[in-house]
Amino acid sequence: MRHRAGLVVAAGVCGVVAGAVPASAGVVRTVTIDCAGDAVVGRVRLQGAGDGVTRITLLARTGEGRFAALARTAARTERGDTEVAYTFSLPRHRGEYRVRAVSGGRPRSSEVVTDSTCQPPAEVPEAGTAAAVPLAMGAAGGAAWYLRRRRTGGPR
């Protein structure tokens, strides 16, 4: 009796897990990846999508090591969906990035992008701001000199 109850519970759990991603969730055809400053962005293209879930995982590695999961997200899909967009923020930079997506079938991975394409550009001060301070100081000094000369009655 004890074993039979355990089998029923196990069968129920398996049914819930199997039902989490329906067979009609579609198949991942391609995964694109790009860097935009401190974020990894891209799209997952689906074929034959129905109501289901597309799971997307950001993977990273430093050096020649294995890729490890950094972040995960899931997107609900509906019948007729052909694409899912994703964005992952990068709190720390690693060497290389890849994205893996699964939607009711075999997982697909993106190409690998390197950290050099993900780092934001170095901040360069605006030239107008850098020139404005000396220009303002020169204008103030010139105005003070002009007013002093005018008050003392000097040559005009």
Answering whether pTM is above 0.75, one says no
DSSP the chain: -HHHHHHHHHHHHHHHHHHTS-GGG-EEEEE--EE-SSEEEEEEEEES--SEEEEEEEEEESTTS--EEEEEEEEEE-TT--EEEEEEE-SS--SEEEEEEESSS--EE---EEHHHHSPPPP---HHHHHHHHHHHHHHHHHHHHHHHHHHT---
pLDDT at 21 over 70: no
pLDDT at 23 over 60: no
Q: What is the pLDDT of residue 73?
A: 93
**Range of lowest pLDDT (16-20, 87-91, 112-116):** 16-20
Q: What is the pLDDT of residue 17?
A: 41
pLDDT at 9 over 80: no
CATH class of 23-118: mainly beta
Most confident stretch, 23-27, 71-75, 138-142 = 71-75
Cβ 19 vs Cβ 52: under 8 Å: no
DSSP 130-147: HHHHHHHHHHHHHHHHHH
